[in-house]
Structure 1
Amino acid sequence: MAVMPFFYDIIRTMKINVYVETQAMELNKPFTYLCNEQVYVGCRVKVPFGYKDCIGIVTEINVTSSVQNLKEVKEVIDRTPLLNEELMNLAKWMSNYYVAPLISCYKTMLPPALKPSSTYASIVYESWAFKKESQMPLTKHQQELIQSISFPIKASEFRKICKSCAKALIDKGYVEIRQLEKNPKLVSSSVDSQFSLTKQQKDAIDKITQSSQTYFLLHGVTGSGKTEVFLQLASQALQQGKQVLILVPEIGLTPMMIERVSARFGSDIAIYHSQLNNQEKYSQYKLVKENKVKIVVGTRSSIFMPFSNLGYILMDEEHDSSYKQDNSPRYQTKDILIQRARVHHCKVVMASATPSLEAYARAYKGNYELVSLNQRVNQKMPDIHLIDMRKEKSMNGLSSTLIQKIEQCLSRKEQVILLLNRRGYLPVVKCSTCNEVMTCPDCGIALTYHKDSQSLICHCCGRSFYFKSECPKCHGHQFYQLGMGTEKLEEKISELFPEARIIRMDADSTRKKGAHEKILKEFETRGDILIGTQMVAKGLDFARVTCVGILQADLAMVRNDFSSSEIAYQLLEQASGRAGRSDKAGNVYIQTFEPDHFVMKCVLSHNYLSFFQQEMKYRHLGHYPPYVYLCTLIYIHKDLNKAFEIANKEKEFLNSLKVLGPIEIHSRKDGKRVRLVIKSNTKEELNQKIKECFTYHSSLKTNVKLDINMYPNRLED
């Protein structure tokens, strides 16, 4: 009998491999621990690591290890796996493909309340009252109350109703208080099945459903009814008992898509985006994991929802840069959805009026099947007008032509959208005495003045400084007013049209939860003029918008980036598409200093194919994507010379590839930054060489930080 406890311990104790929370690639490997509890792959555990306790994810159980004196797991946090086999394998693929720590991939996949991190958010519980059977005697009043209440009910409501006898009903066993996870309801139910399809929409749906191809590019002009095609495909998947993921690039588009989806399918959907709080994200994640909903509408991170039977992945505005994650792991959503489609054997439809060059090139080659919607539902594209600002009279950055057209539009009780892709009041604050420009001490770029908060804000790192209206160099109090942001534009438009109801939509006005939805609803019901950044350029569908004005249209084209023309074309064409989407004719007025630029001419004629052909010639000559694959390596250190030294060493290490740089780019809070751009003809070669480069970087034992960005859409500056 004396040996039984020892034998029992041998049976229960097992060796497990754990990836511990750390962003260091040097520690991107499993660590073995002893575990005396039942645990599964995909569960979180708390383990001793170095001088502290850390949270990790179990990746293997019952492993063999020759290491003596293994440390023991301190706590098994989860009793069932958080990540299924598909997602565990996907994380490993991401870690290898993007050269990122595996634990960072796990963190990216899970909602905050479930992250493998020592700072993970706790799950919120609520108290609920449930009815029970009991033989204890009740007063007449107590009997009446019990019969009148519809159980289960929130405990707080139960105590309000039964103020004097709540405790007695609990003590006598008629009511039980239970703790349940808070489950916020995010979607209201209102079903509207009224819809009609154009011939092109019917043909597009038939082509997608009948094809043996997996990946489709739905190239539809603005207003051609791409969303209705999505809804029809989703309906077919639901009839087959399958799940559907509808991706939108940013939060601003989520309210309108949710409204369309819920109107068609009711409240049986989950939504997932960054403005949900931790409990809401956990609740939506759990709905999908437990198969309680069939449709998910979400932004980039919703691609990691724990689906079990996907029928369609529908990606709206596939060209949008928001689909690229900007911190480790720097994943591209399109890459992830392709991996998930392979596992679920589902079809993927990527839609855009201005497809990315990469997507259209794949369709051109036949890797994607091209499906076209080249006519608007109302059969009428908006008329584009280029306003040459070299010749036009202007007032505070507004041409006399645009002012006149806004006035005419308002007189007809129609709506106006004005796009200025710069938020704040003044983009540059410069002292008129000594010409000192107010710059960010971390990034070295001009601070933007925000009049509402009397602050100077860096739109690169986000730091904010109170503006004392005094030059820090000469202490002067006079400043040049250079340029204009949306805040100043709102002020000027208010002066010109004092009777108009003006609404502003940018990163500053949409900080609060639900702000996007509130602003869009306000503009739809009572607004006259909507002023905004690129948020107002895509996805918005308002019947009364007949006039769109685009200010400082040349800004996007002056960026020192291979993708500047593509970004400019997409922004201008998408913004133009907001006008004339109903039965009233639409007009778009683009203020430009370069009316002869090929981007402007392509927008003028709504000619995507012409833009594609010209831009691809430039990409081919310059040896840029989609003809090659890129990676950027950014070296960060307080000492610029040290960063350059390591960058030059690693450029020599990568001499079998085409390497551009090193060059200095804008600083950040953590130091000076130096960039290398690496080009390769194959992903396999690039991926292998970057992994070798990282191993070499580690061998240098340097304190220069290395930031790896595989397959960037654009170059950081």
Structure 2
Amino acid sequence: MKLINVYIEHLTLQLNQLFTYACDEPVQKGCRVKVDFAHRECIGFVQETDVKSDLKNIKPVLEVIDKEPLLNEELLDLAQYISKRYVCSVISAYKTMLPPALRPSSTYKKIIYEDHVYLSSSTLPLTSKQANVYEEIKDKLPMKASEFRKLTKSLAKPLIEKGYVKLRKLPKSNDVLPSYIEDSIHELTLEQKNAIEEIENSNDSCFLLHGVTGSGKTEVFLHLAQTVLKQNKQVLFLVPEIGLTPMMIERVMARFQRKVAIYHSQLNDQEKYEQYCLVKDKKVDIVIGTRSAAFMPFDDLGLILMDEEHDTSYKQDSMPRYHTRDIALWRAKYHGCKVVLSSATPSLESYSRAYKNVYHLVSLTKRIYDQMPEIHLVDMKEERNQFGLSQRLIDAIQKTLDKNDQVILLLNRRGYLPVVRCSNCNEVMMCPDCGIALTYHKSNDSLMCHCCGNVYRFDHTCPKCHSHHFFQVGMGTERLEENIQMLFPNANIVRMDADSTKRKNAHAKLLKEFEQSGDILLGTQMVAKGLDFERVTLVGILQADNALIHSDYRSCEIAYQMLEQASGRSGRGVKKGDVYIQTYDPGHYVMQSVLKHDYLGFFRKEMSYRHLGVYPPYVFLCCIIYSHESLEKAMDVALLGKQFLSQFKVLGPLEINMRQRQKRVRLIVKSKDETQLNQTIWKLVEYHRSLKTNVKQDINMYPLILEE
């Protein structure tokens, strides 16, 4: 009987260690086993085999689940890198890498199998009718058993029993791809040709493709991918959100006319497993997906293309809190391939690295049709408005619709009313778990917390004074849709937000509807990037100042990126585009930078503020949150943590919003030495464990958004 070391399925850092078990059958590193842990059946992930140990009373493995490793050596090493860099458990990295059906978890979903019929051989006699059917069907095999039975009807059973065909169970497959579409050939501009040549001929490994909106960055991607595919290597296309996946899939499939794998959160467990296997079994050489696609089991990766690299969606907000860009760079180094990061509004970290020649900067300064949209800053302090829309914007929408052109309206707030306040006693309806204002959703007459996702029935009665009257202040996308329909009753309006895209394939269906018959597309930030519709000649941005009012150090950067990206949806074809931005502070440097399409001006201004405030990219950050039902206990442990981190600049402790009825206290740690910060935070984990406290410690290395 051999000894093995395994990681247990629980994610807590307290169990981020190896446990030894005895195994009486062969098992390899990277396989799952069932074990007894603390008198409960758990799933373990084998990390080491043929282990020597002096321990006594070693428990036996209850069951070996996998005969072959689920992860190759590269991904096993990557999990260790993620754990070390982001101060998280190794098992959390393994769970993130694998599709749900293969995760080391006792609650993992079973793989669904279905019967397939294969040709076999037999000498048993057939009736003339059976023989005729067999001759008709044999050249069409293999096929699904359900299809076989439809074709052979009552003769299916005797053909199987007599051995002329045999059944084999295979994982159920689903068609998750659109049908092939015709490619539209675009003649490359001189800038595009130069960009492709510069990237292909350079010995550098990481490139930042900074191109204004509509400059043809995707076309550059496709040409780079074509070169790599001719070398029989694999290509990974990364997009930040599901909403951008359908358009990228269509472009890639149209260009290369071949099967691709796609991977994102709206696939069900079986579909994720199928897509994972397509890559593992080397049946596809192109993968398109969101951040989790970065962990696909590539064999010979030749190029990684990361679109909209600035997007905060690339940072995972639960353990392991990795950034997809780091994963891409690590895997590119392992495979010896190139990474191309692309954006019209690069993150300050990426552009500063390009500025210092850590990344190779490649620029596209002109649009394909060589005309940027004209920006109009609408000062809402002076503008007459109706239903939250300025008269200038209403007039512009009417003119656009009269020309049979299309409109995109951005309001980065979903729901109907963002705050529900009693008009009698001013009581605000709050989430009992998070302590923040609930949003009213008219479609299902409910109150929703946009933080934890909890939904509450709304009886239109104030819980404090029992009044039935509430202020109608503020607006979300639901109410905007209602208002727009009243203003433009003949317009076909398509709403795209987290509520309207819950159903499977909703993103693709809504975008297709807008392309074919829509007049106005309105929604949250998911309509602000990546969309390319030639008939869109007007973009309206409502409540543009909302992004600037957050206390987060990155709020101005996020606001600029969203406004510039949204503006870029207008005038992408031969027609001139206009953008109306409704703001109460048109003189703000973010608004002025968008007005002039001046990324470099914004970069210099924002970098000067970051330098003064000592924030990234000048320092490295770590956000630590302590949570407990008692604010006093959470604060006491946070103060101990701050004392332990006395060698660094530490902001806090500061009380922030609750989660799951737990009081929370935040520390922000700043350091110019990344290695020292990382090592010390790992020591803090051990120190916290030694306190033997029930106050939870939650670590977020290199946060993009500071929780409030």
* TM-score normalised per structure 2: 0.99
Is the aligned partner of 1:202 residue 2:193?
Answer: yes
Equivalence for 2:677: 686
**CA offset digits 1:673-709 (Å, max 9, x no partner):** 1000000001101101111111111111000000000
Equivalence for 1:48: 36
Cα distance in structure 1, aligned partners of 2:14 and 2:163: 58
Q: In structure 1, the residue corresponding to 2:472 is in which secondary structure?
A: strand
Shifted more, 532-541 versus 151-160: the winner is: 151-160
Is the aligned partner of 1:232 residue 2:228?
Answer: no
**CA offset digits 1:158-182 (Å, max 9, x no partner):** 2222222221222222222221112
1:652 deviation in Å?
Answer: 0.9
Output the amino acid matched with 1:153: M
1:130 maps to which of 103, 118, 131: 118
1:576 maps to which of 558, 563, 567: 567
Equivalence for 2:213: 222
Cα distance in structure 2, aligned partners of 1:422 and 1:322: 17
Output the amino acid matched with 1:665: I
Cα distance in structure 1, aligned partners of 2:102 and 2:258: 25
Equivalence for 2:303: 312
Unaligned 5+ residue runs, structure 2? none
**CA offset digits 1:136-174 (Å, max 9, x no partner):** 222222222222222112111222222222212222222
Output the amino acid matched with 1:154: K
Cα distance in structure 1, aligned partners of 2:76 and 2:473: 52
Is the aligned partner of 1:173 residue 2:163?
Answer: yes
Structure 2 contact 407–520 (Cα < 8 Å) conserved: yes
Cα distance in structure 1, aligned partners of 2:154 and 2:71: 47
1:155 maps to which of 140, 145, 161: 145
Is the aligned partner of 1:646 residue 2:637?
Answer: yes
Equivalence for 2:253: 262
Output the amino acid matched with 2:163: G
1:77-156 equivalences in 2 (<5 Å): 77-149=65-137, 150-156=140-146
1:486-565 equivalences in 2 (<5 Å): 486-565=477-556
Cα distance in structure 2, aligned partners of 1:524 and 1:148: 45
Structure 1 contact 636–670 (Cα < 8 Å) conserved: no
Structure 1 contact 409–547 (Cα < 8 Å) conserved: yes
Equivalence for 1:34: 22
Cα distance in structure 2, aligned partners of 1:664 and 1:624: 21
Equivalence for 2:263: 272
1:220 deviation in Å?
Answer: 0.3
2:9 maps to which of 9, 21, 24: 21
**CA offset digits 1:77-135 (Å, max 9, x no partner):** 11111111111111111111111011111111100010000011111111112222222
Q: In structure 1, the residue corresponding to 2:666 is in which secondary structure?
A: strand
Q: In structure 1, the residue corresponding to 2:21 is in which secondary structure?
A: strand
1:700 maps to which of 691, 697, 703: 691
Cα distance in structure 2, aligned partners of 1:541 and 1:415: 12
**Aligned pairs, how many?**
705
**CA offset digits 1:279-320 (Å, max 9, x no partner):** 111111111111111110010001111111111110000000
1:191 deviation in Å?
Answer: 5.6
1:579-598 equivalences in 2 (<5 Å): 579-598=570-589
Structure 2 contact 88–319 (Cα < 8 Å) conserved: yes
Is the aligned partner of 1:164 residue 2:154?
Answer: yes
1:482 deviation in Å?
Answer: 1.4
**CA offset digits 1:236-281 (Å, max 9, x no partner):** 1111111110100010000000000000112321100000011111
Q: In structure 2, the residue corresponding to 1:549 is in which secondary structure?
A: strand
Cα distance in structure 2, aligned partners of 1:191 and 1:38: 51
Structure 1 contact 191–265 (Cα < 8 Å) conserved: no
Output the amino acid matched with 1:568: A
Structure 1 contact 190–267 (Cα < 8 Å) conserved: no
Cα distance in structure 2, aligned partners of 1:231 and 1:674: 47
Is the aligned partner of 1:629 residue 2:617?
Answer: no
Structure 1 contact 653–693 (Cα < 8 Å) conserved: yes
Cα distance in structure 2, aligned partners of 1:197 and 1:367: 28
Structure 2 contact 32–43 (Cα < 8 Å) conserved: yes
1:677 maps to which of 668, 671, 680: 668
* TM-score normalised per structure 1: 0.97
Q: In structure 2, the residue corresponding to 1:481 is in which secondary structure?
A: coil
Output the amino acid matched with 1:161: L
Q: In structure 2, the residue corresponding to 1:64 is in which secondary structure?
A: coil
Shifted more, 23-32 versus 499-508: the winner is: 23-32
1:430 maps to which of 421, 424, 427: 421
Cα distance in structure 1, aligned partners of 2:400 and 2:205: 45
Q: In structure 1, the residue corresponding to 2:544 is in which secondary structure?
A: coil
Q: In structure 2, the residue corresponding to 1:19 is in which secondary structure?
A: strand
Unaligned 5+ residue runs, structure 1? 1-12
Q: In structure 2, the residue corresponding to 1:59 is in which secondary structure?
A: strand
Structure 1 contact 318–355 (Cα < 8 Å) conserved: yes
